[in-house]
Amino acid sequence: MFLIGVVSRVLKARVNSMEKLKTEIAIIGGGVIGLTIALRLRSEGREVVVIEPNEPGSGASYGNAGTIADYAIIPVGTPAVLKNLVSLLFDADSPLAIRKAALPTLFPWLMRFAYEALPHRYRHNTARIAELLSDASSEWLELASEIGASELLSAKGCLYLYQTEKAFRAASSDVARRASYGIAQELLNPNEVRSLEPNLPEISGGGVFFPKAINFTDPSKVMDVLASAARQAGVEFVKASVERLSREREGVRMTATNHDIVSKAVVIAAGAYSGTLAAQIGDRVHLDTERGYHLEFDMDVAPVERPVCPTHHGFYFCPMQGRLRVAGTVELGGLNAPLNPRRLDVLLANARRVFPELGEPSRSWMGFRPSMPDSVPVIRPSKGGRDVVLAFGHGHIGLTLAPRTARMVSAILAA
């Protein structure tokens, strides 16, 4: 009896300390996707609340390579990747590795990934990604100017690097596919690569240069500017983590840390954490995470002028304000395991293969890409109705696709 009394007093205290809130639109997650949607909906006159337990923009949106990759139409799963999948996954040093302990949990996602890499699915997925990416740069240029982030944009293009002639030849089908979607790209021989980026070591393969590509010189600052712009426009931020989501007569109820929030409509934009929330509302999706890493080296002048991707290593050298960021690679390993120091060692060793003079890194980071097996984000109403909109799963191109996603979510809610 005594115990029951104590439990009921604790529960009552918890209910009393619950802050209640009603709003028109609640956005779960304040990464680049949630923030961009919030700003857009607020500018259309909606009442918007963003629910986010951490600093806005401090998830995957913080540590990425900063490229507005409108050329990146090729999904992660391709017939070539499928052919080498087993050797890639089980080589701990490969750009696409797996934590063996996570294999049982990841198995359904991997099966789906393998299916989506079949030639007909790969072609289909490429077409869908190409359509989503078609206006990405111009949409970001417009948004950056609107929020005062234009000075954080650089427009020097982006370079893919192929070490050997064989690798360069093998890239020709990707080149042809991108050409068929009208993507601006220039094939460079080794001398042309060196004249574009004189500090790169000699290669025997070649390069693919995307002259129109743009990139951010500090994704974290962009997130700060975006969050401030949303606040100034009147978006309210609630510091809480949504634990439960349910449809009720008065609206969609979200039980969050110390908060009870009811909203007419909800957007699930919690990045790699969105799957559980979507399932609670009746939508089962094959969302998992591709863990990505970065190392940063503080320096006044970076050895590259623009983002450069040595494709065999699966990362980008990114010139950023006051530093060089080396960002990328994929580790399939779920959301709970800690950062894997071996992946950082491999990243460092491969970075030094290109630039041997790189010293010790100034900082390191691991983040969770929200990834679908087909590399196509989920941007649609929930199966149960338009009162819940799904906006997650952007994988490697979430920064790039944020304005487009916001436009699509706004159209769904307006319909």
Task: Provide CB contacts within 8 A for 91, sequence distance 6+.
Answer: 97
Which of 183, 399, 406, 413 binds ligand FAD (CB under 6 A)? It is 399
Binding mask of the shown chain, residues 188 to 227, with x at each position contacting ligand FAD by CB under 6 A: ----------------------------------------
**273 near ligand FAD, judged by CB under 6 A:** yes
Q: Give the tokens for residue 28.
A: 């779960």
Shortest Å, Cβ 43 to ligand FAD: 19
Q: Which helix (H) or strand (E) holds 14?
A: helix 2-16
Task: Provide CB contacts within 8 A for 160, sequence distance 6+.
Answer: 171, 207, 208, 209, 210, 309, 311
- Radius of gyration over alpha carbons of the chain, in Å? 22
Q: Are 306 and 317 in contact (CB under 8 A)?
A: no
What is the C-alpha to C-alpha distance for residues 252 and 261, in angstroms, rounded to an integer?
Answer: 8
- Nearest alpha-carbon partner for 368 in 339, 391, 404: 339
Binding mask of the shown chain, residues 232 to 251, with x at each position contacting ligand FAD by CB under 6 A: ---------xx---------
**267 near ligand FAD, judged by CB under 6 A:** no
CA angle (358 as vertex; 357, 359 as ends), nearest 5:
110
**By CB under 6 A, what part of segment 98-157 binds ligand FAD?**
none
Q: Give the tokens for residue 252.
A: 């969609």
Shortest Å, Cβ 4 to ligand FAD: 31
Q: CB-wise, 6 or 335, nearer to ligand FAD? A: 335
Q: CB-wise, 58 or 79, nearer to ligand FAD? A: 58
Number of residues engaging ligand FAD in binding (CB under 6 A): 42
**185 near ligand FAD, judged by CB under 6 A:** no
**287 near ligand FAD, judged by CB under 6 A:** no
User: Across the strands, what pairs with 379?
Assistant: 391
**294 near ligand FAD, judged by CB under 6 A:** yes
Which of 259, 325, 396, 404 binds ligand FAD (CB under 6 A)? It is 396
**304 near ligand FAD, judged by CB under 6 A:** no
Q: Which helix (H) or strand (E) holds 353?
A: helix 341-354
What is the C-alpha to C-alpha distance for residues 116 and 122, in angstroms, rounded to an integer?
Answer: 6
Q: CB-wise, 81 or 118, nearer to ligand FAD? A: 81
The SS3 assignment for 130 reads helix
**By CB under 6 A, what part of segment 27-66 binds ligand FAD?**
28-34, 51-54, 58-61, 63-66
**26 near ligand FAD, judged by CB under 6 A:** no
Summarize as ranges the residues that interact with ligand FAD (CB under 6 A). Answer: 28-34, 51-54, 58-61, 63-67, 69, 241-242, 269-271, 273, 292, 294, 327-328, 367, 369-370, 392, 394-400
